[in-house]
Structure 1
Amino acid sequence: MAKTSILTGTAAALCLTAAGPVWGQALEEGTGEEDAIVITASKRGEDIRDIAGAVSALTDEDLTELNAQSLSDYINRVPGVVFNDYQPGVSEVVVRGVASTTYHEANQATTGYYLNEIPLIEPGFPLVIPDVDAFDLERVEVLRGPQGTLFGSSSLGGAVNYVVKEAQTSGFDAAAQGIAASTRRAGEANYAAKAMVNVPIVEDKLAVRVVALERYDAGYLDNPGIDEDGSNDLRVRGLRGSIVWTPTPDTRVTALSMYQEYDLDDQTYVIFNDDPETFERVTNVAEFQDTSFMLHSLRLDQELGFARLTAIGSYTEKESDLAFDDSIFVGIDPRTDTPQLSGSAGTSKTDYAELRLTSPAETAFSWLIGANYTNARSESTDRVSIEGIGEYIDANPDEFGGRPSSDIAPGDLVQRTVSNNDIREIALFGEAAYTFADVLTLTLGGRLFEYKSEPRLQFLPNAELIPPFDYAPGRQKESGFIPKVSLAYNPRDDLKLYALYSEGFRIGGVNVYSVAAGTPLTFDSDTTQNYEIGARFDLVPNQLSFDIAAYHIDWNDIQARLFVPVTFEAYTTNGGGADIDGVEMTMTLRPAPFMQLSSSLAYTDARLSSLLPDTGAPGGGYPEGTRLPGSSEWTLANQLSFEFDDLPMQPRFGIAHRFLSEAPVAFGADLQRGDYHLLDLNASAQIAQGLELGVFAKNLLDAYGIVNAPFSFAGTITRPRTIGGSLTWNFR
């Protein structure tokens, strides 16, 4: 009862103040039928304004105007969303403050990721979190709030669905883009080259579309330890292709394949020491990180009259290889006078199949029913090495119980941990909605799921003389039911009120470093329950629109990422819970046909509701009321754009602003992230038919801010001011 009264009172207050100055950003909203955006993240084609929930969609026009390349360029503009910009290929989107770190969750992420509805995150630890390049994207859909009913595990806070453009059978199309830019402090230029071609093989029946890209982001950090300025160079390469076959008006078959890789020469974190605004990191070797993912999928959409049948099958493969210099923590090994290095190399392979039926649109009773199957196999080897340790062991056998280096340190590896898992999920899901008197819609949904996993953790013979360990508990099983209920009131086209209850969950797992670090061997699943009310309305038809949501989230049995003192080995443990209360507001103002102001404002209060145990923390843990890591109370984004389509060269100009208030980077950390403003400028003009010249400035004021950190002495910072230009050609 208390939760309901709090939410109702908050929403009422927001509605009363809507006529005054309100900052928000309706990235997803249009006010006329011609502006309607149909999204698919709800597993059916729906006008975004008809969804009883908090949803945003950034279109290809939005991404182009922002000169977006990756998630860091646009995802923070969605209300209630922050980006833990850790390392390319593993950085995490956080929705509504549901996170236990600003770094990288040690198990599943709290946000689900999808590409054309295909899961990109496997159950268990994700080796790679794909950051799909923005070129030739149709849109990016963001569902805020738990999405366990339709999407399953990993959507504790929300879900992100990339929608890439597929082959068009209607005609030939092509596009190309070149980008050149300079980042302050970077010794080299940034560049990108991207191209797309769409070819109809049989008009209106068969077509193919191919996209290729390469992007180079010059490093801006200095690493005197390896005598390298601008050490964190990043190269992104990608290839994407689709084939669409429509043998009849009622049948559509789509094949989609994609490959993208991230090659980072040196990690992006800095060591703060006594300099609060440093661009320096000191290591004895370059800490590289290489990640890649490959996806192949086949989809059938068949109209059956009474329903649409959708069948999806996909195969996803990910690879990751990285290295860290442990000597910055533990010093140079005195036995060999060489640094201790750690690293990890892993592969995951996921098969996914989904079958569903969706009722026709425009009926009082609508429904969706489906089933999916997932099989994820992963293997990862974590290693610690000291160059020359094998020779030292063989020269000093008494120190190692007489065991030769070939047994306990092959290839100078002093520790080796191999983890494997085979996880299978089968689930039934569905939703049914009925509209009363054309204005009141009740929706009930649910997901019945079962997970079966077969983990194995092996700690091999080692030079640390820790007893070897082989943990294979056999098949583990977890099952449950995830409900969803919503009630929407839609008395007219420009007004919608809704109330929503939804849930999310994550499965449990095994800690990789548990044997050597003495941490808990396993951890259990955690869940979220979301209570939400919202409103969408036009205050001035076709000129001023608002989208407001207020919510309360209970997060139970939190899977928290913690670190072992001194060695800083990460592990996951369950403990305590959290209460998250928040309000999200978006606004779009169109005072003239050529001008639009879009704004977003979000307030989030995310705190522990009970003690989170941590033996390395004062008092044995973090008490009730402790703020969750990275959960900034305030986020703000504004975007002012001018488009003069009637003038020669059709000039366009945009100003984009973001603000993130401060928040602790980790449990128990003194270091705060946020408390900075970022300002971007964009301008473009058509210099010839189909040829657009653009200029941009990102982080124009050269703001220095911390975007993530696992500890109080090291973290990742905002990219310095970057100025550049682009040349884009479109055939059409």
Structure 2
Amino acid sequence: MRNRAWRDLGVASAIGLAVAPIGARAGEAVTFAIPSGPFKAAATAFALQARVSIDLSAAQGCGPSSGFRGRADLDTALKALLRGAGCEARLISPRVYKIVPKALAAVATPPAPTLREEGESPARLSELVIVATRRLALADRLAYSVSALDQRAAAARGVRDAADLALAVPSMTMTNLGPGRDKVILRGLSDGPLTGQTQSMVGIYLDDVRLTYNAPDPDLLMVDIGQVEVLRGPQGALYGAGSLGGVLQLRTHRPDLDAFDAGASLSASTTRGGEAGGLASAMINVPMLNGRAGVRLVGYAERQGGYIDDLGRGRPDINDTRRNGVRVSARVKLADDWTAETGVTSQWINSKDTQYADRGVGTYARRNRIAEPHDNDFLEVHVGAQGGFLGQDAKLTLAAVRHDLSSRYDASAAPPVSVPLGAAVAFDDDNHVGAVVAEASLASRPAGRIQWQVGAFLARTRQGRDGQVILVDATAAPPLAAETRRDVLGEAALFGEAIGDVGHGWSVTLGGRLFATRSEASSLAASAGASALFRDAQSYVGFAPKIVVSFAPNPSTLVYVQAAEGYRSGGFNTAVIPTQVFDTVGGEPQRRYDGDELWSYEAGTKRSWLEGRLRLRAAVFLASWKDIQSDQLLPSGLPYTANLGDGRNIGLEFEGSYARDGLRLDANFLLNHPELESVNAAFPGRKDLGLAGAPKGSASLAASYERTVGRGWRMGLDLRGAYVGRSRLSFDGVTAPSMGGYATTRVAGRLWSDRLSLDLALDNLFDSAGDTFAYGNPFTLRLSRQATPQRPRTISLEVRARY
């Protein structure tokens, strides 16, 4: 009985948090299409379509439901589902129902809590979330380390992009080269700060579409994002290569087919000693075809004011950045239980210059000969359909992704080739990635003792990378050195997972991914009359397993252990300079680098007390990493990829929350020991430096309070602080500067109603200038003390309006 209670609560509760910012209100009409069948399946369909939560932990005796089709308010539809089932529904908090047998309903119980005013959250912490496991689940009933922030929580904590998110969730850090140039690091699993040929450590997804291969995080601005989910630990079984550290999933609001909606926001900010900034965004949702279709359009334009001075060129505030984007999505009902969706997401980032400083020159200053601009253009297009097939849930997705990046570095101080004395030299790096991805999956509906899903995945990625060393003042002269490189990667996989209820509160999950990859590389390099042509290919076939055992003695407690594997394929090194020598015996750089794999072993617990107001989550883990791939720098400053050796990380992570009467407290921390266990003899690494870019500790604290201040109006205050421990920039024993050891702070106040809100925030309250990233230019890294200081104290004011 205990097992059924937690299982029913886990698989039959659902919300529309990732579908709409606010669920349906009592009395509001909603169009329902709920087929007849087992009551659990009917109740889950009701929760998804009404965007409310259903607790079925006490509904074991409910009979089958006759279903309901048509447009009605929530109470009418729920009564129709319950007719003849022998159960009744209780409203236990806003948008949360509990189903109980009629025999229990007759027992005297305290009255249900009074509904609060619109916009007010219930006192208890919501545990009903949709997480990045490719199926609906409750975070507290899921045997993984996962964190989720909905739109409201993200706004309260000032989360606008991945860099902000890293300060709000446990075990997540970011490099800080600049917008659109960063890498996500989860659980201290870092292969170094550079982004080159190695595949990403963390899978970045937008609505289940993979956005990256070996490019940096596209840094999508989180406007009209319904929920952000971070799944920590290797996810090779369900997500494949490039998820050794975990998965970051962004879930947008899907078009609402029933109601018109629109909103806009405008903000302005000022940075001490820097330029002003701001953000304008708008959203409109239009239902069509009498509730059978809907279109949602989102657009935004942001400016981040600069604060770094270039004394060499006599220019202040050089690192001004613009980020503009648009997202269009459409949804159509094809049948009662089938829908089709399509969408386009595009974003453009233009940075006038990089944001690092030279500590020998000043905290927020450096001396360069030329500017170092960066452009990052991203485009994603997808079509898909989902619905019932053979009594189960089917989903089909076809997507295309285009990611164009271009960067310039000042190589004047240490050019990689011979140049005239005193010449201004630049290295231009242009990277163009295009991918086509197709995926099909079939998952069981939440009614049986065994929940399962199976799927197939196909992807083809083409990458063009062009590097040039040029004389800046000689525009008509040919490049001093140039390389044209082209890569093609094909991937195919079959994946599956089954969760079995073995009784008495015990559950076992078995999953795996059978994959095959083939990579092809070609390169043509030329310099000073010399040239070098290279072409080769390699293939990998493998299997990535996963096993999880969990025990739930009661609905508020979960204990689990798991083992999972992640992997990345190998590749080839080439160079801009044709005379570069590649070793084939045992030295570095090697022409070919091997794939790496990581096994993670984890034990964790999740517990709630005080009717869900207090929630604690903790996990201990051990990661064993073989043949670590890492992008490194040659003495010339140009990149290559090496297998560094073997490493591991052992750690403890904790996450806790408490909420009562408008007050909410959050805390999280990570303590870990990332290290190299054995070092490739040909690579000048040091075992005592740990894993590059991975701090041994991080923590954050947050407190918020909300209360009603008038009819239809509420106010809130949010305080947040985070600490990132010290780490080393690289594995190289020669160039391994220290960084980190800094704290961030934020104070924000908010006044809002259903239609209007006003937010005032102060970031970096104490105007700290900690070194977030000891890197900016590969050609001067050995010549100067590079540092990326925190953005100085910034004040921002935002106004939001909703139709």
Give 2:312's aligned residue: 225
User: Retained in 2: the 8 A contact 1:171–1:203?
Assistant: no
Alpha-carbon distance between aligned partners in 1 of 2:223 and 2:788, rounded to the nearest angstrom = 25
Residue 373 of structure 1 is aligned with which of 453, 458, 462? 458
1:86 paired to 2:173: no
In 2, the alpha carbon distance for the partners of 1:383 and 1:287 equals 14
Q: In the alignment, which residue of structure 2 is the partner of 1:192?
A: 279
Instruction: Give the superposition deviation at 1:149.
Output: 0.6
- Does 2:678 match 1:610? yes
Aligned match for 1:213, one of 300, 303, 306: 300
Measured in 1, the distance between the counterparts of 2:516 and 2:736 equals 41
1: distance between equivalents of 2:237 and 2:793? Answer: 42
Q: 2:211 aligns with which of 107, 120, 127?
A: 120
SS in 2 for 1:328: coil
Q: Does the CA-based 8 Å contact 1:434-1:441 persist in structure 2?
A: yes
Separation of aligned partners in 2, 1:506 and 1:329: 33
Matching residue within 263, 267, 284 for 1:179: 267
CA distance in 2, matches of 1:575, 1:630: 15
**1:666·1:709 contact (CA, 8 Å) conserved in 2?**
no
> Normalising by structure 2, what TM-score?
0.80
The aligned counterpart of 2:664 is: 596
**AA in 1 matched with 2:723:** F
Q: How far apart, CA to CA, are the structure 1 residues paired with 2:162 and 2:519?
A: 32
Aligned position for 2:793: 721
Q: How does 1:10-89 map to 2 (within 5 A)?
A: 34=96, 35-89=126-180
- Consecutive unaligned residues of structure 2, counting only runs of 5 or more, are 1-54, 56-91, 97-125, 582-588, 776-780
Q: Is the 8 A contact 1:517 1:564 kept in 2?
A: no
- 8 Å CA contact 2:709–2:715 kept in 1: the answer is no
The answer to whether the aligner puts 1:523 opposite 2:613 as a matched pair is no
Alignment RMSD, CA only? 2.1
2:163 aligned counterpart, secondary structure = helix
Alignment partner of 1:138 out of 226, 239, 259: 226
What is the Cα deviation at residue 103 of structure 1? 4.0
Q: CA deviation at 1:516?
A: 4.6
* Alignment pair present for 1:479 and 2:541: yes
Query: Deviation digits for residues 225-276 of structure 1, max 9, x if unmatched?
Result: 2221000000000000100111333011111110001100001111222x5x
Counterpart code for 2:231? L
Deviates more, 1:510-519 or 1:492-501: 510-519
Aligned to 1:294: 379
1:542 is aligned to 612
CA distance in 1, matches of 2:252, 2:174: 21
Q: Evaluate the alpha carbon distance shift between residue 105 and residue 489 of structure 1 in structure 2; reply closer, same or farther with a 3 A threshold.
A: farther
Question: Structure 1 pair 283/625, CA: closer, same or farther in 2 (3 Å)?
Answer: closer
1:694 matched to 2:779? The reply is no
Structure 1 CA distance for aligned equivalents of residues 438 and 417 of structure 2: 50
1:660 pairs with one of 724, 743, 756: 724
Equivalents in 1 of 2:568, 2:466: separation in Å?
23
Does the 8 A contact of 2:276 with 2:305 survive in 1?
A: yes
| 1:681 pairs with 2:747 | yes
2:238 equivalent in structure 1: 150
Distance, in Å, in 2 between the alignment partners of 1:503 and 1:298 is 30
1:387 Cα offset (Å): 4.3
Give the secondary structure class of the aligned counterpart of 2:612: coil
CA–CA distance in 2 between the matches of 1:718 and 1:537? 36
In 2, the alpha carbon distance for the partners of 1:341 and 1:318 equals 23
* Distance change in 2, residues 1:337/1:595 (3 Å): same
Q: What residue is the counterpart of 1:282 in the other structure? A: 367
Kindly state the Cα deviation for residue 306 of structure 1 after the two structures are TM-superposed: 2.4
Residue number in structure 1 paired with 2:336: 249
Structure 2 CA distance, aligned partners of 1:506 and 1:332?
33
- CA gap of 1:59–1:512, structure 2 versus 1, over 3 A, is farther
Q: 1:442 aligns with which of 504, 508, 515?
A: 508
**Quick one: distance in 2 between partners of 1:57 and 1:169?**
26
Structure 2 Cα separation of the partners of residues 539 and 300 of structure 1? 40
Taking structure 1 as the reference length, the TM-score comes to 0.87
Aligned to 1:431: 497
CA offsets 1:465-503 (integer angstroms, 9 cap, x no match): 5x4111112x42111000000011112111001101011
1:2-39 per-position Cα deviation (integer Å, ceiling 9, x unaligned): xxxxxxxxxxxxxxxxxxxxxxxxxxxx9989423332
Residue by residue, what CA displacement relative to the aligned partner does 1:562-611 show, whole Å, maximum 9, x if unpaired?
2222x222211113111100111011122x31101001011011000112
On the 8 A contact 1:87/1:267 being kept in 2, the answer is yes
Q: Mapping of 1:314-713 within 5 angstroms?
A: 314-330=399-415, 335=420, 337-387=422-472, 411-437=477-503, 439-460=505-526, 462-463=527-528, 465=529, 467-473=530-536, 475-513=537-575, 515-518=578-581, 519-565=589-635, 567-590=636-659, 592-613=660-681, 615=683, 621-645=684-708, 647=710, 649-667=713-731, 668=733, 669-686=735-752, 690-710=755-775, 711=781, 713=785
Higher relative contact order (CA 8 A, sep 6+): 1
What secondary structure does 2:296 align onto?
A: strand
CA pair 666-288 structure 1, distance change in 2 beyond 3 A: same
Aligned-partner Cα distance in 2 for 1:448–1:305: 24
SS in structure 2 at match of 1:412 = coil
- Classify the secondary structure of the residue corresponding to 2:800: strand
- The percentage of counterpart residues that share the same residue type is 24
Instruction: Give the secondary structure class of the aligned counterpart of 1:99.
Output: coil
SS of alignment partner, residue 327 of structure 1: coil
For residue 331 of structure 1, report the CA deviation from its aligned partner.
11
Distance 1:131 1:696 in 2: 22
Q: Distance in 2 between matches of 1:228 and 1:331?
A: 26
CA distance in 2, matches of 1:601, 1:430: 32
Partners of 2:672 and 2:168 in 1: CA distance = 15
Aligned to 1:14: none
Distance across 2 between alignment mates of 1:362 and 1:278: 60
TM-fit CA distance, 1:624: 3.6
- Change in CA separation of 1:160 and 1:132 when aligned onto 2, cut-off 3 Å: same
Q: CA 1:166–1:101 in 2, change beyond 3 Å: closer, same or farther? A: same
Deviation at 1:52, TM superposition (A): 1.2
Contact 1:332 1:340 in 2 (8 A): no
Question: How far does the alpha carbon of each residue in 1:380-412 deviate from its partner, in whole angstroms, 9 at most, with x for none?
Answer: 11000014669xxxxxxxxxxxxxxxxxxx743
In the TM superposition, what is the alpha-carbon distance from 1:76 to its structure 2 partner? 2.8
CA 1:678–1:293: 2 relative to 1, 3 Å? same
Q: Offset of 1:626 from its aligned partner?
A: 3.4
Deviates more, 1:516-525 or 1:367-376: 516-525
Contact 1:332–1:338 (CA under 8 A) maintained in structure 2? no
Instruction: Name structure 1 gaps, 5 residues minimum.
Output: 1-29, 391-409, 616-620
Do 2:363 and 2:789's aligned partners in 1 also have CA atoms closer than 8 Å? no
Check the 8 A contact 1:102/1:630 in 2, yes or no: yes
**Shift of the alpha carbon at 1:329?**
2.8
Question: CA–CA distance in 2 between the matches of 1:328 and 1:623?
Answer: 27
Aligned residues: 665
